[in-house]
Structure 1
Amino acid sequence: MVEVIKTIPEMKAKVKELKKQGYKIGFVPTMGYLHEGHLSLVRKAKSLADKVVVSIFVNPLQFGPREDFREYPRDLERDLSLLEKENVDVVFVPSEEEMYPSDYQTYVEVVNLTDKLCGAFRPGHFKGVTTVVLKLFNIIQPDIAVFGEKDYQQLLVIKQMVKDLNLDIEIVGSPTVREPDGLAMSSRNIYLSPKERESAVSLNRALELAEKLVKEGEKNPEKIKKTLFEFLRMHPYLIVQYIEIVDPETLDPVEVIEKPVVCAIAAYVGKARLIDNRLIKP
């Protein structure tokens, strides 16, 4: 059976024991309701470390007041079964009270990188992400932590926090895992009806279209964004929140595509807010 730990003191004691034995610790933070994308992060961590810790915690700080914190899918028994098959060493499953006691009052915030893309539409979201991730880093003290490239902005924000705060943790990005038809795997895909699911695939197709246009020599990001918007608008149940073409390091919009860029899309499909992105090289 995979070892499940629910309290911070127990988790810290376990880490101390592993470190004393000289093990290199890999860490994968999740909000649970695991899918093949999460499991790919676990496998990456296993390939880079001696022992792997996975956390499952639906973090209230990163949800806005009208977002889906209460509805977010949860199935701990299923998650533990999947992690056991992957031979994960420890699963850390703290409660909300364990992470944020009633007198909790400290927050961590990366600026600039967080005020664009998803950050522009989800105020406070990344402050919640960096706060919980730093807490988890302090509790688990990993040598390596693995994050998915599907949440590209989050990956950059975490790397910036680690750099700025001089943390001795290597942050590793892992490629987006997709369904056979190209839809990026997400725990929120469960919200999609069969008809909405058909429309959701268009996000990845729009990114493919953007790449095709760039490869054909289009250098004007505004023209590409307009083409993508028109393409996505043809799909029912889908409302575009943003389409941006940005610098891969700063996330600032580019005026001319002359070097690699990231095309990032966020859209509501039914009630599911989905994101996807692609690194495009001219």
Structure 2
Amino acid sequence: MAVETIRQSASPLANWTKMPQFRRMDVLEPVGNLTLRFNTGNYIELGWDPPKRQDCVTEYEVCLDQLDEVNGTTHCENVTETFWYARFINIYPCTYYDINVTAYSNVSEPSPGEEIHAHTGPYQVINSCTSSNSTDEIYVSWLAPWGESCVTSYNIKWCGGDMYSFRCYLNISGETNVSKDARDYLITGLEPDVYYNVLITALGEDDTASEVIERPQKTCSAVRAVILMFNSSLLRPLCPRCSALENQSNQCACAFDNACVPQPEERRQLRWSL
């Protein structure tokens, strides 16, 4: 037994194998389930699942790479380890981006980057306007968004009820799509003396969409219309169909109730006439 012990200690290779060996630093696993939560013409939000050893993560680096041969840029932001999402604002519409997320740690090497591709949607429409000069119609108009190269059509929704009710989005009264060249639409078949929310969205390529623009509008009262019919002296000019182009040059005031509600001096005349 003594001889065997001497032989083992005399072998440098045998002694080296018993010594603690240098181990390469571990590598974090990549983030999982990287997805786009919101994607409009000027806003992107993405989310992900943390690596399995999330207690080792100190921060995430999220990089947005604009795929443009001329003006391509890369913008990166650091996100604390407790947040599993990132938001980018003031980005370009109708633009392709590569988005890369890497997890960092103080006790291991960074994770491999996880990447997805995104095509941003169009900007929202501008100078949108609504008006109503009847009991059952609302006229809506708009101008095309900036950077409209990827606009494929426009979506118009409307819902009746409280002018400020968020439940309106869950109770759509009607909806239609119009061509990318359209700049106005006449909504018909509405109820009199009702507040409606008109929702305007620019639709883009690859199933993208702009932010929704909401315009409240009230239809004229049926009682008011009857009074005006039988008493022409009370008839005052109803708001014309206000176009977005006129609104842009301040030629038309797009009030949500237009001239449907009598002014104070008219109310006195109405009581006298009745």
Q: Could you tell me the TM-score, scaled by structure 2's length?
A: 0.29
- Higher fraction of helix: 1
Indicate the structure with greater strand content: 2
